[in-house]
Structure 1
């Protein structure tokens, strides 16, 4: 995947050099905003970047009283409050910030962490919250080409 992003960067760099700095910053912001929206939609659909579903929650030995475990995972983490997008002239960044970044990292990499502050340890399955699919790369490519087409 990293090779694909490097190839996209190598392809786009000479094209972006023809743009004014203000246009590049605006394009970076637009790309970051669009990718954030796509990532949040994918998290809502409970899918990894490759289209496979997230690993399900661990079944409980006894039924739990609340509806939390029956609902979708990561409902709040995908909000713009936690999933931030920033774009600059040379980069577009999407990531989790604040306390939720630790939770997202544990799930993204499938790490071992405590369930609760004083609770037991648990090996979380890998759930790729952030990542780029082929469709995301195509959207970025199309956004760059559209912006270059309207600039000339």
Structure 2
């Protein structure tokens, strides 16, 4: 049984006693905190198990003229608030990507095949878990629930 399932079983009965407005406020608070932790983890280029992301494949840049950025971090725009959305209502909490970037995130999350650009051959991407729970995230959820319920 996962930590989240244990947490849900423990807090489920307590949350059902709350008014829908209070549950919505709590869910939004948790969603914002989870989004913040996901953004920090993506900025640090780490998977939920605290391992580093797989390195980018080297590219032949001999034909490219101008400034070459070699040490640009992956997903630097993907982690911004305009793409990484946090939602919460009285029944659920979700943190995820929206729009076209959701496809890019899914390809990296599961290590799928995709084309880097139109007309290019299919490439299998290394798995980089862009979204995921860490032990610290479960602790944040637990402490936020306790703080809200003890008010």
Please confirm whether the aligned pair reaches a TM-score higher than 0.5, indicating the same fold: yes
In the TM superposition, residue 126 of structure 1 has moved relative to its aligned partner by: 0.2
Aligned to 1:24: 23
- Give the number of aligned pairs: 149
In the TM superposition, residue 5 of structure 1 has moved relative to its aligned partner by: 1.8
Whether 1:93 aligns to 2:84 is no
CA–CA distance in structure 1, aligned partners of residues 17 and 98 of structure 2: 33
In the TM superposition, residue 11 of structure 1 has moved relative to its aligned partner by: 1.2
Pairwise CA RMSD = 1.5
CA–CA distance in structure 2, aligned partners of residues 96 and 84 of structure 1: 6
Structure 1: segments with no counterpart, 5+ residues: none
Whether 1:36 aligns to 2:35 is yes
Q: TM-score with structure 1 length normalisation?
A: 0.92
Runs of 4+ in 1 over 3 A off after TM superposition: 61-69
Aligned to 2:144: 143
Q: TM-score with structure 2 length normalisation?
A: 0.93
Structure 2: segments with no counterpart, 5+ residues: none
In the TM superposition, residue 75 of structure 1 has moved relative to its aligned partner by: 0.4
Q: From the superposition, tell whether residues 67 and 4 of structure 1 become closer, same or farther in structure 2 (CA, over 3 Å).
A: farther
Give runs of aligned pairs for residues 1-150 of structure 1, distance below 5 A: 3-62=2-61, 66-150=67-151
